[in-house]
Amino acid sequence: MTMTTSDLDGRRGFRRAASLLSVAVSVIVLAACGGSSADPPARASDLYQVGGETAHLQCQGAGSPTVVLLGGQGFTTTTWDGFRAALGPDVRTCAWDYPGVGHSTGAPMMTAARAVSSLQDTLRAADVPRPVVLVGHSIAGLTTRLYVGEHPGDVAGVVLFDPTVASFARMFDDEEFRPGWDGTASARQVEQVTAWPDIPFEILRHDPAVYAAAEVWNATVEAQWGAEQAAFARLTPEGTARVVEGSGHNVYQDAEDQSVAAVRRVMAAVDTKPRPFLGSAPG
């Protein structure tokens, strides 16, 4: 297929916007969290030895099912503090630091497959009862899509806040994405997952109006991201995707009440009995 000038311009514009969005999100992370050095010391009981590395999983609260919190690129467990408080003590939550982030050790360059393997091993080491509800932000969309595809019996429901989609991740080359993820490899991995089990699944996405005036933003980027998030939700018959009015990328912070309500809806709808898997998991 021959690409036209407009095709090339569209791809360049999408790539530039995606790259600059990654930089913007990274700045927000550093400004809000101060990096891992700002986190309080980890409790010894929250550290687990997994594959020769130290994994940090901080759990609190009571109840079932357990809600596992997966942050965006560079986000540590402490970024969930306000959200966990809003959920209340009757919800058992476990927040995880990706390898090389926060109190978890390991090489910082990640792929979705490595994240899934590390998360699975950490949940086993911590004896977290399954199935769980996975709740993730941004880049956690890649981890979650692959995790449910590979371990469908371990997940009872999912809530994602403005998840990264495969084609969006592919726009980042390794240099631009460091020290976080290998976007191209991760995209290839998650694209193998074409269906999930029939579980409750909600996507809450940013309000396009929030970024409409930004120099790096354009309608093509917005339309493609929104369309692929909607397609992501269709991996299961119960999946939905909706815009949260007035929210930026950090939906669970910008629209805390609506985000908490989404998690509680999914928790109320989960069925802890095994559900049929609707497609083939990646081999």
* Summary mean pLDDT of the chain: 83
Res 25: pLDDT: 43
Cα Rg of the chain (Å, integer): 18
d(CA 128, CA 260): 21
Model pLDDT, residue 147: 98
| pTM for this model (two decimals) | 0.84
Which CATH code for domain 55-269? 3.40.50.1820
pLDDT at 267: 96
Cα–Cα dist 203/205, whole Å: 6
pLDDT digits (tens, 9 = 90+) for 203-229: 999 999 988 877 666 778 788 899 999
Mean pLDDT score, 233-262? 96
Please write the tens of the pLDDT for every residue from 265-280.
999 999 655 555 444 4
Give CA separation, 11 vs 21, 22, 31, 171, 215, in Å. 15, 16, 30, 9, 16
pLDDT tens digits, residue range 36-52?
446 778 887 789 999 88
> What Cα–Cα distance (Å) separates residue 40 from each residue in 33, 176, 274?
11, 29, 38
Alpha helices in 136-218 (DSSP H): 140-150, 166-170, 174-177, 183-190, 208-211
Specify the pLDDT at position 36: 43
pLDDT score of 216: 62
| Tens of pLDDT, residues 10-39 | 455 555 555 555 544 443 333 333 344 467
Q: How far is the CA of 191 from the CAs of 124, 166, 229, in angstroms?
A: 26, 7, 13
